């Protein structure tokens, strides 16, 4: 064949070969591609699981003067000599449930006198039912209560419950004045179970009757105040009435309010609500347990406890001030011009402004007593000589001090002589279903399960935005009597539970949340002061973890030695209040002369420890102090420490004289839009540097935005900033193995090992961050509608921040 013929025939030949062999050829190619992809995927998977902890080349030198003084112990040893004698450490930590104190004088005045040695409690179970459901629940409840009374034998002072159908009683016998026993020794406690119907039924009669009785000028407005207490439980149907706004359990809620007024605030336990097609049994069970506790309290002669007396205000509304429970507690709204108040006004979201300030000259810290030995014992350098001073150690906040008085007045409970606990406004808000703090949006912490505490009320900075009024101890060394960690743990948990219990009569508190709140799940170690100043902080953190309480610890970047030897916490924060030395001096007003070196050392330590725990930068923006032209400086710091997260928050105005003297006014409080713009610029700057940060989430209500490392905290391309707390404890307890490797061996866990759910849609950037399941509450004449009418706000998110309470 000629060469030309050959080439002419070639395409035909090739075509023939292709037709004959195409199927095996295609199959082999597909198999090859599949094998190649599998190998690639496997190597990635291995890379994810068996990550070696990147070790930093740079060694962080801890200067001798940064070490806690007089360290004389070997690593791991605990000191005993400086512990206060008053409390012996117990071997097994336990959660302590609060004990109620005797009723206050005000309560004694309104409560019917119950002599627990002679009187009896008669529980009356009232119900109304159209189709039988509530009736069944009512008789079942009466039976269970009766069994409990028989089993628990609560002093034989609780009688067998009686059940009454509201449709068949004379209202006058029970709801105009309480029944009276012949000899007057039987006192009554009402349990009211009701369905809801949005049509005209006999239920409406009952409601009208309550209302009329209250409004009848011939009758005392609180004619049922002779009752020992009452509690209401509602049944509804979430299929037809999914939310309270849409009418879920609407009539039970009404009855609860009217009963509060008629009894003169005798709500003994929060209103319970159950969905008959869902959780009714569980909710009722929870509510019953709470009611039983209330009955026991009364039987023991303690009345309704030390809580607020209830909700009997003639005008009960969403504006009812919670603060009656424990002093004023309202956070000034950012950007809303406010009249300067007296010294009582302060920053409420204290955990992020957790510093303390004062002039050294007036504080107990300036006393001449010597520093005590302290158990940060993991340092390699030689400890300095133990002090020979025999001067008695002082208490940081003695009971008789003005500081103690001031803090107590502000709602703090001081534990021992240097620790404090306070129930924050978000905890109260969450108990009432009105939303949690930004830590819920970002990390899944429900505020009613969270305790805010500090083991050290003292600090080494004097930040301009600190709420404290110049009466607190400051100092650069720990020089006080030291309470043991067990005592602090027992004290703060007991005080927290006590404070939660004070909320039980507050209108709107949800029974199921109240019950859940009696088991602390999280601790924000950040209230005020500097938690890592406390010499036994590691032991305290371990106690919390052993009780499956997660820990978020905020420190002020002034104690590198303590930071380095801190045990891993669930999330470790460093406050970054400025981007350069001069600005930091101006805003934090640190006591340490080498504050900048300490600060930088802390950043380097954070960088080193970023594969052991979740690390966070907390930026608090103060206009005129640390915002303008500082984006690049902050980006430098992020680049240096590579935290997992950067939380940026606008400062809240504390209006104290101290803040005033530091030149801080409302003009220094940034608008949310300004904070958001700052975050956009910071994200852009980090992006320009090739750093993988992105804006993950926001909580406009508290003027807070979250940036996160997109390479570490995303799953399937979506932000996953929440935490799997159970997994964290499993890792801590060694139930599951972590994936932090060194030298081919597992040496612990990594933050990636306990990443939780994806960040919910509503919390993502530009979605506002308010959980749609919670109820938004607006002050009268405020809210989007009112604002629109007034033509005030330009931006929907600004409005939310400006007027929401």
Judged by the rule CB under 6 A, the positions of this chain that interact with ligand FMN are 129-134, 195-199, 235-237, 240-241, 247-250, 276
Pick between residue 168 and residue 217 the one whose CB is nearest to ligand FMN. 168
Strand partners, 755: 723
Radius of gyration from C-alpha coordinates of the chain: 31
Q: Closer CB to ligand FMN, residue 258 or residue 443?
A: 258
- CA distances for 300 relative to 187, 295, 323, angstroms: 14, 9, 28
Span from 6-14, 247-255, 419-427, 489-497 in contact with ligand SF4 (CB under 6 A): 419-427
Min dist. Cβ of residue 424 to ligand SF4 (A): 3
Whole-angstrom Cα distance, residue 460 to residue 592?
7
Shortest distance (Å) from residue 232 CB to ligand FMN: 14
- Give the whole-angstrom CA distance, residue 360 versus residue 413: 24
CB of 245 to ligand FMN, least distance (A): 11
The minimum distance between CB 433 and ligand FMN, in angstroms, equals 15
| 524 in Cβ contact with 453 (< 8 Å) | yes
- Taking the least distance from each CB to ligand FMN, the nearer of 127 and 442 is 127
Nearer to ligand SF4, 260 or 520 (CB): 520
488: contact with ligand SF4 by CB under 6 A: no
Residue 486 sits in the site that holds ligand SF4 (CB under 6 A): no
Whether residue 436 contacts residue 445, with contact meaning beta carbons closer than 8 Å, is answered with yes
Q: For ligand SF4, which stretch binds (CB under 6 A), given 66-74, 444-452, 559-567, 612-620?
A: 444-452
Q: How far is CA 350 from CA 133, 526, 704, in A?
A: 47, 8, 14
Token pair of 255 as six digits? 């009855």
Cα 620-682-353 angle, rounded to 5 deg: 5
Torsional sign, CA 330, 316, 514, 325: positive
| 452 near ligand SF4, rule: CB under 6 A | yes
Quick one: 129 or 608, whose CB is closer to ligand FMN? Answer: 129
- β 272-275/413-415 pair status: unpaired
**Binding-site partner at residue 427 among ligand SF4, ligand FMN, none, CB < 5 to 8 Å by type:** ligand SF4
Nearest to ligand SF4 of 422, 462 (CB atom): 422
DSSP-assigned beta bridge partners for residue 551: 523
When CB distances are held under 5 to 8 angstroms depending on the partner's kind, the choice from ligand FMN, ligand SF4, none that residue 129 binds is: ligand FMN
Q: Toward ligand FMN, which CB reaches closer, 212 or 239?
A: 239
- Contact window for ligand SF4 (CB under 6 A) among 75-83, 253-261, 445-453, 563-571: 445-453
If the CB atoms of residues 428 and 610 are measured against ligand SF4, the closer one turns out to be 428
Instruction: Determine contact, residues 766/776, Cβ cutoff 8 Å.
Output: no
Q: How far apart are CA 213 and CA 73, in angstroms?
A: 72
Binding mask 423-442 for ligand SF4 (x = CB under 6 A): -x-xx---------x-x---
502-518 as b/e, with b when 16 or more CB fall inside 10 Å? bbbbbbbbbbbbbbbbb
Whole-angstrom Cα distance, residue 234 to residue 196? Answer: 7
- In terms of CB distance, is 121 or 437 closer to ligand SF4? 437
Pick from ligand SF4, ligand FMN, none: which does 447 bind, CB < 5 to 8 A by kind?
ligand SF4
Is 759 near ligand SF4 (CB under 6 A)? Answer: no
Rounded Cα gap, residues 762 and 227, in angstroms: 45
**How many residues in the shown chain lie near ligand SF4 by CB under 6 A?**
12
- The least distance separating ligand SF4 from the CB of residue 426, rounded to whole angstroms, comes to 4
Q: For the stretch 434-459, what's the b/e string if a residue is b when 16 or more beta carbons lie within 10 angstroms of its beta carbon?
A: bbbbbbbbbbbbbbbbbbbbbbbbbb
Pick from 508, 515, 496: nearest CA to 433: 508
424 touches, from ligand SF4, ligand FMN, none (C-beta below 5 to 8 Å by class) = ligand SF4
Task: Report if residue 524 touches ligand SF4, rule: CB under 6 A.
Answer: yes
Q: Which is nearer to ligand SF4, 426 or 728 (CB)?
A: 426
Structure tokens given for 220: 């005392």
Q: Nearest-CA neighbor of 616 among 488, 524, 743?
A: 524
Vertex 511, ends 522 and 166: CA angle to 5°?
Answer: 175
**Nearest approach, Cβ of 754 to ligand FMN (angstroms)?**
39
551 makes contact, choosing from ligand SF4, ligand FMN, none, with CB < 5 to 8 Å by partner type, with: none
* Binding residue (CB under 6 A) for ligand SF4 from 119, 237, 293, 351: 351
195 binds, among ligand SF4, ligand FMN, none (CB under 5 to 8 A by kind): ligand FMN
Task: Give the C-alpha separation, 401 to 416, whole Å.
Answer: 13
Closest distance to ligand SF4 from the beta carbon of 492 (Å):
12
The nearest distance, CB 257 to ligand FMN, in angstroms, is 16
User: CA-CA distance, 260 to 257, in Å (whole number)?
Assistant: 5
Query: Measured from the CB atom, is 133 or 146 closer to ligand FMN?
Result: 133
Q: Would you say 270 or 491 has its CB closer to ligand FMN?
A: 270
Q: Confirm if 728 and 613 have CB atoms less than 8 A apart.
A: no
Q: Which is nearer to ligand SF4, 452 or 604 (CB)?
A: 452
- Cα 534 to chain centroid distance, Å, stands at 22
Decide which of ligand FMN, ligand SF4, none touches 198; Cβ closer than 5 to 8 Å per partner kind: ligand FMN
The CB-of-195 to ligand FMN minimum distance in angstroms stands at 3
- Cβ proximity to ligand SF4: between 450 and 537 the closer is 450
Angle at CA of residue 120, ends 119 and 121, nearest 5°: 130
Q: Which residue is listed with tokens 């045990």?
A: 567
> For residues 250-265, b (16+ Cβ closer than 10 Å) or e, as one string?
bbbbbbbbbbbbbbbb
Q: What is the 3-state secondary structure of 354-393?
A: CCCCCCHHHCHHHCCCCCCCCCCCCCCCCCCCCCCCCCCC
Residue 225 C-alpha from the chain's centroid = 35
Q: Which structure tokens are listed for 461?
A: 């900075």
Nearer to ligand FMN, 196 or 460 (CB): 196
Shortest Å, Cβ 513 to ligand SF4:
13
Q: Among ligand SF4, ligand FMN, none, what does residue 1 contact (CB within 5–8 Å per kind)?
A: none
Minimum distance from residue 208 beta carbon to ligand FMN (Å): 17
Q: How far is the CB of 797 from ligand SF4 (least distance, A)?
A: 20
Q: Which is nearer to ligand FMN, 203 or 539 (CB)?
A: 203
Please state the closest distance from residue 580 (CB atom) to ligand SF4, in A.
Answer: 29
* Helix (H) / strand (E) containing 133: helix 133-152
User: What are the residue ranges of helices labelled H in 100-201?
Assistant: 105-110, 133-152, 171
* Distance, CA of 323 to CA of 327 (rounded, Å): 5
For 741, the enclosing helix (H) or strand (E) is strand 740-742
Q: Please choose, out of 180-188, 402-410, 421-429, 710-718, the segment that lies near ligand SF4 by the rule CB under 6 A.
A: 421-429
Nearer to ligand SF4, 526 or 739 (CB): 526
Contacted entry of ligand FMN, ligand SF4, none for residue 412, CB cut-off 5 to 8 Å set by kind: none
Residue 485 binds: one of ligand FMN, ligand SF4, none (C-beta under 5 to 8 A by kind): none
196 binds, among ligand SF4, ligand FMN, none (CB under 5 to 8 A by kind): ligand FMN
Considering only residues 349, 486, 490, 604, which one is a binding residue for ligand SF4 as defined by CB under 6 A?
Answer: 349
φ, ψ (nearest 5 deg) of residue 311 = -140, 45
State the nearest-atom distance from the C-beta of 532 to ligand FMN, in Å.
Answer: 50
Task: Measure the CA–CA gap between 492 and 209, rounded to whole angstroms.
Answer: 45
- Residue 447 makes contact with ligand SF4 by CB under 6 A: yes
Strands of 612-659, DSSP E: 614-621, 645-650
Residues engaged in binding ligand SF4 (CB under 6 A) = 349, 351, 424, 426-427, 437, 439, 445, 447, 450, 452, 524
């Amino acid at each position: 064949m000629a060469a030309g013929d050959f080439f002419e025939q070639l395409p035909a030949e090739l075509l023939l070969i292709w037709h004959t062999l195409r199927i095996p050829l295609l199959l082999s190619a597909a198999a090859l591609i599949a094998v190649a992809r599998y190998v690639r995927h496997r190597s990635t998977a291995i890379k994810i699981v068996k990550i070696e902890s990147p070790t930093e080349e740079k060694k962080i030198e801890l200067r001798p003067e940064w070490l806690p003084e007089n360290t004389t112990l070997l690593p791991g040893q605990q000191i005993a000599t400086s512990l206060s004698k008053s409390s012996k450490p117990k071997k097994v930590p336990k959660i302590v449930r609060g004990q109620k104190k005797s009723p206050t004088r005000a309560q004694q005045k309104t409560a019917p006198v119950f002599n627990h040695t002679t009187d009896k409690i008669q529980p009356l179970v009232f119900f109304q039912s159209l189709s039988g459901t509530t009736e069944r629940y009512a008789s079942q409840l009466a039976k269970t209560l009766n069994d409990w009374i028989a089993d628990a034998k609560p002093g034989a002072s609780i009688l067998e419950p009686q059940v009454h159908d509201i449709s068949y009683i004379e209202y006058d016998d029970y709801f105009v004045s309480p029944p009276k026993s012949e000899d007057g020794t039987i006192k009554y406690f009402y349990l009211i179970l009701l369905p809801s119907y949005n049509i005209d039924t006999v239920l409406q009669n009952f409601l009208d009757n309550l209302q009329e009785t209250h409004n009848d000028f011939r009758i005392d407005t609180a004619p049922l105040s002779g009752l020992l207490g009452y509690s209401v439980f509602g049944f509804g149907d979430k299929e037809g009435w999914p939310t309270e706004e849409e009418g879920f359990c609407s009539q039970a809620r009404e009855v609860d309010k009217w009963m509060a007024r008629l009894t003169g605030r005798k709500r003994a336990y929060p209103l319970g609500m159950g969905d008959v097609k869902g959780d009714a049994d569980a909710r009722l069970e929870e509510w019953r347990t709470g009611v039983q506790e209330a009955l026991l309290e009364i039987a023991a002669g303690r009345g309704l406890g030390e809580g607020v007396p209830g909700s009997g205000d003639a005008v009960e509304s969403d504006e009812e001030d919670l603060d009656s429970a424990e002093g004023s507690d309202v956070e000034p709204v950012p950007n809303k011009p406010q009249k300067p108040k007296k010294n009582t006004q302060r920053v409420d979201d204290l955990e992020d402004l957790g510093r303390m300030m004062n002039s050294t000259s007036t504080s107990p810290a300036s006393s001449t007593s010597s520093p005590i030995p302290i158990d940060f014992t993991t340092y390699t350098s030689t400890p300095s000589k133990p002090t020979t001073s025999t001067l008695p150690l002082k208490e940081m906040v003695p009971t008789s001090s003005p500081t103690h008085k001031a803090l107590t007045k502000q709602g703090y409970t001081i534990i021992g002589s240097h620790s404090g606990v306070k129930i924050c406004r978000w905890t109260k808000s969450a108990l009432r279903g009105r939303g949690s703090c930004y830590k819920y949006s970002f990390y899944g912490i429900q505020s009613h399960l969270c305790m805010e505490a500090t083991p050290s009320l003292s600090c080494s900075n004097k930040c301009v935005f600190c709420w404290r009024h110049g009466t607190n101890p400051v100092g650069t060394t720990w020089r006080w009597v030291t309470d043991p960690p067990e005592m602090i743990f027992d004290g703060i948990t007991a005080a927290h539970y006590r404070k939660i219990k004070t909320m039980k009569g507050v209108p709107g508190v949800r029974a199921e949340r109240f019950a859940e709140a009696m088991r602390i799940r999280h601790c924000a170690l950040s209230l005020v002061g500097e938690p890592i100043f406390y010499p036994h902080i590691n032991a305290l953190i371990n106690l919390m973890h052993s009780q499956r309480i997660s820990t978020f610890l905020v420190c002020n970047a002034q104690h590198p030695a303590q930071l380095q030897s801190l045990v891993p916490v669930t999330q470790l924060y460093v406050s970054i209040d400025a981007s350069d030395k001069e600005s930091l001096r101006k805003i934090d007003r640190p006591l340490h002369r080498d504050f900048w070196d300490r600060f930088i050392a802390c950043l380097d330590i954070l960088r080193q420890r970023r594969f052991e725990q979740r690390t966070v930068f907390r930026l608090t923006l103060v206009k005129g102090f640390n915002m303008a032209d500082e984006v690049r400086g902050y980006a430098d710091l992020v680049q240096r420490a590579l935290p997992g997260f950067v939380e940026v928050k606008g400062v809240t105005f504390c209006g104290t004289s101290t803040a005033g003297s530091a030149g801080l006014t409302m003009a220094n409080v940034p608008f949310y839009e300004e904070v958001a713009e700052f975050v956009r610029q910071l994200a852009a700057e980090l992006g320009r540097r090739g750093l993988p940060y992105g804006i993950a989430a926001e909580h406009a209500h508290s003027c807070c935005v979250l940036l996160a490392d997109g390479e570490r905290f995303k799953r399937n391309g979506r932000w996953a900033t929440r935490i799997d707390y159970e997994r964290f404890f499993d890792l801590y307890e060694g139930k599951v193995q972590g994936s932090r490797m060194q030298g081919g061996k597992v040496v612990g866990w990594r933050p990636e090992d306990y990443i939780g759910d994806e960040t919910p849609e509503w919390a993502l950037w530009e979605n506002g961050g308010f959980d749609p399941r919670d109820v938004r509450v607006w002050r009268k004449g405020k809210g989007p509608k009112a604002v629109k009418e007034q033509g005030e706000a330009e931006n929907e998110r600004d409005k939310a921040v400006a007027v929401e309470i």
